[in-house]
Amino acid sequence: MAAGTGPSTASRVEGRMAECKDYSDVTREQLGRLKQKLQQMGITPPEGDNGTIEAMGVKLTVAYDESGQKLRVCIVEKPAFIPEFMVWGQIEGSLKG
């Protein structure tokens, strides 16, 4: 798994652009681990490959392309006191296993 182009702008939320990261070489198994970790934290992951995750004031959109093994995650809302690196760290740690 490698981070793709890094943060990019995808959509406007609350007067600013959403922060997005693209992850390549993400297997179905890694996506399953990410969803399992979310459930262990009491967070309901999307049922399919695309959707929204909301917890503790953070709102993410996720889109998984199994054939290309790419995962795109966007932070669309978060409280100011939660730094983005903490959100990315949780996601990346879950993908690594």
**Domain at 16, CATH number:** 3.30.310.50
Nearest to 16 by CA among 89, 73, 74: 74
Indicate the number of domains in the chain: 1
Residue 53 domain boundaries: 2-96
User: In 10 A of CB 73, how many CB atoms?
Assistant: 21
Report the alpha-carbon distance of residue 93 to residue 18 in Å, rounded: 21
pTM, 2 dp: 0.80
Tens of pLDDT along 13-33?
Answer: 445 567 999 999 999 999 999
With 50 as the cut, is the pLDDT of residue 11 above it? no
Tens of pLDDT along 65-83?
Answer: 999 999 999 999 999 999 9
Report the alpha-carbon distance of residue 74 to residue 59 in Å, rounded: 8
Q: What's the mean pLDDT in 1-12?
A: 42
Do 45 and 39 meet the contact criterion of CB atoms below 8 Å apart?
A: yes
Residue 97, pLDDT score? 72
